[in-house]
Structure 1
Amino acid sequence: MQMNKETLVTKATLSQEVAGNAPQAMTPWQEFWFYFTKNKGAVVGLVYIIIVILVAILANFIAPHSPSEQFRDMLLAPPAWMNGGSWHFILGTDDVGRDILSRLIYGARLSLLVGCLVVVISLAIGITLGLVAGYVGGWIDNAIMRVVDIMLALPSLLLALVLVAIFGPSIINASVALAFVALPHYIRLTRAAMLSEVNKDYVIASKVAGAGALRQMFINILPNCLAPLIVQASLGFSNAILDMAALGFLGMGAQPPTPEWGTMLADVMQYAQSAWWIVAFPGLAILMTVLAFNLMGDGLRDALDPKLKQ
């Protein structure tokens, strides 16, 4: 009898030790962060984006000068580490004596604002049209997708240029135009995700229980379609920044003296050979920001795509 008690105690102790050593199930957030951090490039991109966001928010306190202030005695001053440079203007000045570093800092605020505006508008409209096309089907689906096909047949930047030329060059009109040309990607992606979900058991059961079309689309189905849309939104953010810089370079985006990276490039192209810094630093800002969003998009895809977790 004593042996049986000792055996039971030993088994109970072993069971507790095994249970204590067993791996704990991860929460959805922990699982996402685990797969996201496996992509080191995505982590670097996320850190850079956080830094850019903080710089944009704190631009009034970080920028050494006003972005429009002109120092007439320091025209085309080189960066501080070059001969003739001054630590008063770390990255030098442009052709009218404005501090390049200050304009880059304030330009980050404008670029991020434009990216948010473009992504929010195109994502909201694209999701709505994609859900309607995939759920309703029929002639409504055909009509929406034929318009999408026509939009995809046109070069996106050219279409944006036409829209801005019609409504007039400004930062708001350029943002709306870029949101319009980004719509087809969100519509097609949402429709494809809807078609893969609409015939599943939980959707049919919800329909039998009396759920209406709006509840089915936006409450039951949409949460299961968000993963690819989040990835597309992060990539669309970088495309919006790049396209806005292109429109600004062509004179169709932000108008001088607004500190926007593309406009900064357009204003000083004639000095590209004699004063390389006024072209190089805005170009590097665009390059690094777009690259960071693309790297983060790759990490989001790794973390949110179940096929990559096998």
Structure 2
Amino acid sequence: MTESSASIRLPEPPFPERACAAAGIDALSEFVAVHERLFVLTGAGVSVASGIPGYRDLNGDWMRAQPIQWQAFRDSEQARRRYWARSMVGWPMLAQAQPNAAHGALARLGAAGRVGRLVTQNVDGLHQRAGSADVIELHGSIDDVVCLDCGARHARAAIQTLLLHDNPALADASAAVSADGDAHLEWDALDVFRVPACSHCGGMLKPDVVFFGENVPRERVEAAGQALEAADAMLVVGSSLMVFSGYRFCMWAAKAGMPIAAINIGVTRADTLFSLKVQAPCGEALAALAARVVPSVSYR
């Protein structure tokens, strides 16, 4: 995940300000009525109502220290100890999280044929749990772990069992968690923490997610790009787009003359590219939208 937001200056957006949530939903419904096949890109804001914290505040600034960098994880044993200790404490929250109204509404819109392709920057798997099919996970899945030496794949749940067995001192630890399954854990005994190893070859294990400083696999970008080309319009949900891996699709859509709508509270990197922006909670806006588009379905 290449982070490139450090010096971004956000210009004033050209889209009309919506005086109330109801007016925004009206405009969004009109947008979807005209553009029937949506390319949907979601970010951390979609999962906030599931109890998973977002990364950024309303101004698009970090609410905590940045996640681990790929180079640090690869090159430093101490960095890997810190990552896995924090993940051991934080991952259970992601594993137990349940889809919220936003995930459910997008799944129903997809089942009704209104979503051409759903692409997410999230690694929590909640879109799939809600019933969305053929989701492109740009940044991978936190539920999977891969060996960097032999390529063997492991379930994250199995790695958690190993972590708990080898590090009983942290078994009952608690700390504030974040969107990627990390936890704000500071532990003085980090030097004795046992990092999990591949059960096949003893090699280095890494969660199957794209770390900061690491590139999104080309095949995922290409698949998402093809889906964008086949769409009538783009809808951004719950993302500040400060990371280029998601922002690029807005750039491509704008270059192609494709209209872009967004549901997001706070500024985004692409505000100047939107034809419509609804500043309302994702679940509230999407449930209202889906109730109009697929009126035979009841949304809670």
State the TM-score, normalizing by the size of structure 1: 0.23
More helix by share: 1
Relative contact order higher in (CA < 8 Å, ≥ 6 apart): 2
Q: Which protein is bigger by CA-based radius of gyration?
A: 1
More strand by share: 2
State the TM-score, normalizing by the size of structure 2: 0.24
